[in-house]
């Protein structure tokens, strides 16, 4: 084995759980960690998408466990850990990737149900899964919790204030957990990405603009691309691989002294120095 191949398999022997791992950023993260040698557990709501993703992960030579899960249900999360993680017997890497927002809206148009729903889908899924995972992670010498947040949690915009608020809560909780779990050698970090092309949210954003502007999908996508490029000093649009490679780094031994951080993958979009 060459040194290059050895480095590519630096996560061999570790078990990684990626929530929402059947498509988009989650699937790309799962594939990236699998190529680095990790055994993979993915969950999501769609059984068909899970099986498709599992086949791709197996093609990387990794063991994969793919099981449906609605993480908005507490008993569902507990049952998932009893049936899936307990038989495996260990967990080294947890990537909390479940989240997103369905529709673009401004504050006056958001109902209480919109607020409750987005906190349940984004923050409480992270809370439930992390809580169940701790008994395994605290036994691992390689324990990592990596939470997929958003630049919306650091730099508010004119739309979707409920989404920005919940992502800010995820960043805060990540910092809090890094402090309380530090003595047990569990590293906790957040990743804040800007709009990423190729994930499910990208298509939803395009479709929302298509409906509001009464234009074709192609025209709406051109408008969205122009907006995203204009926000980033690099003038580029991120991809799921940009996020996945950072996850792989944070999961590796090279990131042993990194915890409590929130790292932007945004082409320079966030203007704050903090």
pTM of the model: 0.95
**Residue 199's pLDDT band (boundaries 50, 70, 90)?**
low
Domain borders along the chain are 3-194+238-265, 197-237
- pLDDT recorded at residue 6: 45
Report yes or no: 57 and 35 within 8 Å, Cβ to Cβ.
Answer: no
Q: Does domain 3-194+238-265 have CATH number 3.40.50.720?
A: yes
Count Cα atoms within 13 angstroms, Cβ side, for 10. Answer: 14
pLDDT at 222: 95
Question: In this predicted structure, what is the pLDDT of residue 203?
Answer: 86
The token duo for 94 is: 């947890």
Q: Provide mean pLDDT across the span 238-257.
A: 98
Give CA–CA dist 130/125, Å, rounded.
Answer: 8
- Write b or e for each residue in 15-49: b if 16 or more Cβ atoms lie within 10 A of its Cβ, otherwise e: bbbbbbbbbbbbbbbbbbbbbbbbbbbbbbeeeeb
Closest CA to 91 of 43, 57, 46, 125: 43
Section 2-9 average pLDDT? 56
Average pLDDT, the chain: 94
pLDDT digits (tens, 9 = 90+) for 77-127: 999 999 999 999 999 999 999 999 887 899 999 999 999 999 999 999 999
Active site residue ranges: 163
State how far the Cα of 19 lies from the Cα of 216, in Å rounded to an integer. Answer: 33
Instruction: Give the mean model confidence (pLDDT) for residues 64-82.
Output: 98
């Amino acid at each position: 084995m060459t040194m290059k191949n050895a480095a590519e398999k630096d996560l061999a022997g570790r078990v990684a759980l990626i929530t929402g791992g059947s498509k988009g950023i989650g699937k790309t993260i799962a594939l990236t960690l699998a190529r680095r040698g990790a055994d993979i557990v993915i969950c999501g709501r769609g059984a068909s998408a899970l099986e498709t993703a599992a086949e791709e992960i197996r093609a990387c030579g990794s063991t994969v466990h793919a099981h449906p899960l609605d993480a908005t249900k507490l008993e569902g999360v507990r049952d998932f850990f009893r049936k899936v993680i307990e038989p495996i017997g260990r967990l080294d890497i947890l990537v909390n990737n479940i989240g997103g927002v369905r529709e673009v809206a401004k504050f006056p148009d958001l109902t209480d149900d919109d607020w409750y729903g987005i906190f349940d889908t984004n923050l409480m899924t992270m809370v439930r899964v992390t809580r169940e995972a701790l008994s395994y992670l605290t036994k691992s010498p390689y324990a990592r919790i990596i939470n997929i947040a958003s630049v919306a949690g650091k730099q508010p915009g004119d739309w979707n204030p409920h989404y920005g608020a919940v992502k800010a809560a995820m960043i805060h909780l990540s910092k809090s957990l890094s402090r309380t779990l530090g003595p047990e050698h569990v590293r906790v970090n957040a990743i804040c990405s800007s709009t990423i092309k190729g994930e499910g949210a990208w298509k939803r954003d395009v479709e929302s603009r298509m409906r509001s502007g009464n234009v074709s999908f192609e025209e709406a996508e051109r408008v969205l691309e122009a907006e995203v490029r204009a926000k980033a000093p690099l003038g580029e649009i991120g991809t799921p691989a940009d996020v996945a490679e950072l996850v792989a780094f944070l999961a590796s031994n090279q990131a042993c002294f990194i915890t409590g951080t929130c790292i932007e993958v945004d082409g320079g979009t966030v203007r704050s120095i903090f």
